[in-house]
């Protein structure tokens, strides 16, 4: 057990089945996915010696009765001659009579008496069947541990971590193809059963939010994490296949891409304090401490000046004294005037709500670019729908108009859904069984259907038809659509069992940012939203205003400082082109792919 055992396993001429069972490059163990993910379920590896690690999800302990462990009295059939006599009763109950009788008892009778004395009960051997998972696969590996190898009780608590060496064998159980028979224990991580919050089975996902650091050990959260990872990989694959270049944008910025939204500030507040110098060991240095330091330094200089061999040290000491005297003078002057020094920031900074404006500068040089990172919002909203920190995919394309960018958004979403269906069938099956059995059909519908395109005005017409059933919603032209209204649009515009996504475009200019391209009617802008059934608004996109005069006009209408956006106006002054982009809420995309309803359940550590 320990490092020495691992060295014995992996050093020497013979290595554990390197050809058949490739071990992890960085942990000297076999990843369960490489065993359970085989087309034969691992049958072709029977007889191979491997080292595996993981956490115990459940167990069954089976005790085996051995003949030697059963008392002789219990398994002897009594005959007439074995019946208890009066002499035997006296022998067991009266000590003096037992001593006298021992002298006169025949030898063969003594042997018969000794034969019926109960033998000590031996420990009953047992076998534990552990369901172990290492996170690489949704399936568990059955690990068989005999009590002769190690104490069973140490391994049966849910959450216990183990690293074991053993032989892969065929399993005799119907729901298991193979199992690992343990021969060596290399590591054991104990669990405090009374305090371990995942000791119960099937904990509601709402309760798991209180233990975000432990909930990844549940199959549901593991499945969500796998889907999220697959969507992230598919995102990079899609854009790189279409020659987009990934660029990293600043999180801390002074540019407001959403103008009217509240922002999470990253500013340094005014600090009024007396000027001080800092000493590494003792903190702030006041005037009294500085004067004492001057005296000590002067004494030191007097000592050094007595010898010609300390000229270099003397020069350094004089320079140090000069600095200290200067500090003392500054402190004395401030003390006389009673003034304070104010430290101020040059400009207000905040955490970004969108990367769109910065992306435009790179799109105007590289053509097609994208970024993938966290964005922040300070508006008060339901934590089940929106978080203070969320992940966003944003792109910008040069020489592209509204139709081009909306087609890109549609293809991107379809690609992601199809990618998850192809690469995560086992996870989709598990989530469909646990959460929503229509999940696969929903993803297939999004991946294969043609998105419905309607204008903002047409959307209002659909809503007017729904007013009889939903009179609480206003349909006044020029207002932003509410989530409830968007759901009605999806239903009424498709009228299908599996509702297809809807793209609503040409929105009123007052509900979209200042940089969106103004249409010829002067009332609407070239913006679009992609609305997904069950999720809501997933994508916001637009064609950007490339005309500097129109952009100036919009900024004046909204009272924006041109000085702050001078660099942004430069993009229009120097080689401007039509360019368009969109922003996708990645967390909401994960909601779609996992059939979840609360965004806190698809984010590792939600910040609301």
- Write the CATH number for 10: 2.40.50.140
Whether 142 contacts 177, CB under 8 Å: no
What distance in Å separates the CA atoms of residue 499 and residue 60, rounded to the nearest whole number?
Answer: 46
- Give the list of residues 6+ apart from residue 45 with CB closer than 8 angstroms, or none: 17, 20, 21, 35, 38, 168, 178
Quick one: CA dihedral 436, 437, 440, 444, positive or negative?
Answer: negative
Question: Is the pLDDT score of 218 beyond 90?
Answer: yes
**The pLDDT of residue 276:** 44
Q: 38: helix, coil or strand?
A: coil
- The pLDDT tens digits of the residues spanning 369-399 come to 999 999 998 777 778 888 999 999 999 999 9
Q: 136: helix, coil or strand?
A: coil
Please work out, in degrees rounded to the nearest 5, the angle formed at the alpha carbon of residue 176 by the alpha carbons of 174 and 177. Answer: 105
**Mean pLDDT (whole number) for 176-202:** 91
Whether 356 contacts 256, CB under 8 Å: no
- The pLDDT tens digits of the residues spanning 480-489 come to 888 878 877 7
Residue that the structure tokens 């939903």 belong to? 470
Same-domain check for residues 238 and 316: no
By mean pLDDT, which of 109-118, 460-469, 519-528 is the weakest? 109-118
Whether 601 contacts 205, CB under 8 Å: yes
**Mean pLDDT (whole number) for 40-59:** 94
Residue that the structure tokens 């053509």 belong to? 367
- Give the list of residues 6+ apart from residue 60 with CB closer than 8 angstroms, or none: 128, 129
What distance in Å separates the CA atoms of residue 455 and residue 239, rounded to the nearest whole number?
Answer: 27
Same-domain check for residues 328 and 358: no
Between the alpha carbon of residue 356 and those of residues 246, 503, 519, 544, the distances in Å are 13, 20, 20, 10
Domain extent, residue 179, equals 3-64+126-189
Same-domain check for residues 482 and 591: yes
Domain count for the chain, please give it. Answer: 4
Same-domain check for residues 180 and 298: no
Same-domain check for residues 254 and 283: no
What distance in Å separates the CA atoms of residue 459 and residue 492, rounded to the nearest whole number?
Answer: 9
Answer whether residue 196 is part of any domain. no
Q: 64: helix, coil or strand?
A: coil
**Mean pLDDT (whole number) for 546-558:** 93
Answer whether residue 607 is part of any domain. no
Q: Phi/psi at 269 (nearest 5 deg)?
A: -70, 160
Same-domain check for residues 483 and 575: yes
**The pLDDT of residue 278:** 42
Whether 265 contacts 271, CB under 8 Å: no
Indicate the length of the chain as a whole number.
Answer: 608
On the CB side of 69, CA atoms within 13 Å amount to 9
Same-domain check for residues 256 and 288: no
**The pLDDT of residue 68:** 42
Residue 238: give its domain's CATH number. 3.30.930.10
What distance in Å separates the CA atoms of residue 523 and residue 511, rounded to the nearest whole number?
Answer: 11
On the CB side of 564, CA atoms within 13 Å amount to 16
Q: Which of 343, 359, 386 is the last residue of a domain?
A: 343
**Mean pLDDT (whole number) for 209-223:** 94
Q: Give 13's pLDDT tier (boundaries 50, 70, 90).
A: very low
**The pLDDT of residue 430:** 95
Same-domain check for residues 151 and 237: no
Residues 322-358 as b/e (b if ≥16 CB within 10 A, e otherwise) read eebbebbeebeebeeeeeeeeeeeeeebbbbbbbbbb
**The pLDDT of residue 146:** 95
Whether 363 contacts 243, CB under 8 Å: no
**The pLDDT of residue 439:** 95
- Residue (of 254, 247, 349, 250) closest to 565 by Cα position: 254
Question: Is the pLDDT score of 12 beyond 50?
Answer: no
Same-domain check for residues 293 and 418: no
Same-domain check for residues 228 and 360: yes
Residues 538-575 as b/e (b if ≥16 CB within 10 A, e otherwise) read bbbbbbbbbeeeebbebbeeeeeeeeebeebeebbeee
Q: 409: helix, coil or strand?
A: helix
Strands (E), 237-318: 245-246, 252-253, 271-273, 277-279, 283-285
Question: Is the pLDDT score of 260 beyond 50?
Answer: no
Question: Is the pLDDT score of 312 beyond 80?
Answer: no
What distance in Å separates the CA atoms of residue 109 and residue 106, rounded to the nearest whole number?
Answer: 5
- Which residue has better confidence, 255 or 560? 560
Highest mean pLDDT among 12-26, 225-239, 253-267, 315-329: 225-239
Strands (E), 203-266: 245-246, 252-253
Token readout for 320 is 């140090």
Question: Is the pLDDT score of 505 beyond 70?
Answer: yes
Token readout for 32 is 């369960």
Token readout for 209 is 């939010």
Answer whether residue 197 is part of any domain. no
The pTM of the full predicted model, rounded to 2 decimals, is: 0.74
Query: How do beta strands 49-63 and 126-133 pair?
Result: antiparallel
- The pLDDT tens digits of the residues spanning 400-441 come to 999 999 999 999 999 999 999 999 999 999 999 999 999 999
Answer whether residue 525 is part of any domain. yes
Answer whether residue 283 is part of any domain. yes
What distance in Å separates the CA atoms of residue 365 and residue 368, rounded to the nearest whole number?
Answer: 9
Q: Which of 288, 323, 343 is the last residue of a domain?
A: 343
Token readout for 216 is 């990844």
Same-domain check for residues 373 and 443: yes
Q: Give 345's pLDDT tier (boundaries 50, 70, 90).
A: very low
Residue that the structure tokens 């290595």 belong to? 15
- Residue (of 184, 123, 122, 126) closest to 152 by Cα position: 126
Token readout for 501 is 């996504």
Answer whether residue 74 is part of any domain. no
Answer whether residue 199 is part of any domain. no
- Residue (of 589, 258, 189, 170) closest to 417 by Cα position: 589
- The pLDDT tens digits of the residues spanning 121-148 come to 667 899 999 999 999 999 999 999 999 9
Same-domain check for residues 535 and 566: yes
**Mean pLDDT (whole number) for 91-106:** 53
Q: Which of 343, 373, 390 is the last residue of a domain?
A: 343
Token readout for 340 is 């304070």
The mean of the pLDDT values for the chain is 81
- Alpha helices (H) in 123-204, listed in sequence order: none
Share of the chain above pLDDT 70, in %: 76
Q: What are the residues facing 530 on neighbouring strands? A: 503, 539
Answer whether residue 216 is part of any domain. no
């Amino acid at each position: 057990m320990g490092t020495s055992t691992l060295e014995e396993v992996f050093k020497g001429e013979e290595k554990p089945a390197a050809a058949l069972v490739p071990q992890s490059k960085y942990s000297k163990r076999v990843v369960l996915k490489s065993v359970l993910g085989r087309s034969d379920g691992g049958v072709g590896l029977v007889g191979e010696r491997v080292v595996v690690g993981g956490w115990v999800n459940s167990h069954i302990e089976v005790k085996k009765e051995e003949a030697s462990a059963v008392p002789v009295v219990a398994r002897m059939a009594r005959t007439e001659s074995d019946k208890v006599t009066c002499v035997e009763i006296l022998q067991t109950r009266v000590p003096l009579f037992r001593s006298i009788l021992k002298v006169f008892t025949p030898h063969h009778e003594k042997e018969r008496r000794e034969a019926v004395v109960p033998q000590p009960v031996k420990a009953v051997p047992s076998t534990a069947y552990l369901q172990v998972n290492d996170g690489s696969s949704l399936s568990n590996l059955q690990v068989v541990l005999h009590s002769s190898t190690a104490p069973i009780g140490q391994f049966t608590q849910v959450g216990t971590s183990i690293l074991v060496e053993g032989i892969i064998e065929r399993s005799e159980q119907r729901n298991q193809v193979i199992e690992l028979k343990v021969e060596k224990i290399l590591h054991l991580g104990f669990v405090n059963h009374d305090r371990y919050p995942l000791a119960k089975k099937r904990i509601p996902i709402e309760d798991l939010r209180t233990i975000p650091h432990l909930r990844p050990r549940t199959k549901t959260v593991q499945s969500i994490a796998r889907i999220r990872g697959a969507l992230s990989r598919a995102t990079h694959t899609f854009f790189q296949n279409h020659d987009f270049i990934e660029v990293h944008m600043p999180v801390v910025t002074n540019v407001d891409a959403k103008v009217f939204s509240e922002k999470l500030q990253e500013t340094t507040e005014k600090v009024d304090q007396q000027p001080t110098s800092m000493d590494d060991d003792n903190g702030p240095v006041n005037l009294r401490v500085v004067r004492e330091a001057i005296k000590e330094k002067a004494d030191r200089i007097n000592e050094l000046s007595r010898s010609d061999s300390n000229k270099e040290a003397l020069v350094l000491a004089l320079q140090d004294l000069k600095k200290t005297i200067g500090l003392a003078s500054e402190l004395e002057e401030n003390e006389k005037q009673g003034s304070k020094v104010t430290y101020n920031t040059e400009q207000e900074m905040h955490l970004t709500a969108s990367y769109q404006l910065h992306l435009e500068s790179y799109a105007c040089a590289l053509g097609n670019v994208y970024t993938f990172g966290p964005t922040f919002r300070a508006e008060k909203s339901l934590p089940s729908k929106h978080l203070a920190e969320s992940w966003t995919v944003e792109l910008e394309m040069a020489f592209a108009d509204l139709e081009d960018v909306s087609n890109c958004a549609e293809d991107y979403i379809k690609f992601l859904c199809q990618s998850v269906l192809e690469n995560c069938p086992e996870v989709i099956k598990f989530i469909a069984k646990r959460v929503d059995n229509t999940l696969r059909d929903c993803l297939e519908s999004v991946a294969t259907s043609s998105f419905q395109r309607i204008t903002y005005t047409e959307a209002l017409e659909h809503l007017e038809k729904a007013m009889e059933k939903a009179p609480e919603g206003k349909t006044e032209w020029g207002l932003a659509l509410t989530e409830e209204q968007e759901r009605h649009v999806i239903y009424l515009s498709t009228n299908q069992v599996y509702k297809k996504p809807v793209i609503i475009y040409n929105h009123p200019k007052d509900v979209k940012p200042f940089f969106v391209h103004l249409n010829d009617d002067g009332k609407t802008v070239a913006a679009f939203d992609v609305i997904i059934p069950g999720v809501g608004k997933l994508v916001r996109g637009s064609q950007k205003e490339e005309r500097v005069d129109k952009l100036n006009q919009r900024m004046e209408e909204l009272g924006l400082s041109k000085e702050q956006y001078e660099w942004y106006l430069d993009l229009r002054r120097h080689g401007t082109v039509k360019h368009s982009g969109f922003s996708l809420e990645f967390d909401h995309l994960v909601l779609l792919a996992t059939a979840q309803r609360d965004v806190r359940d698809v984010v590792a550590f939600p910040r609301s």
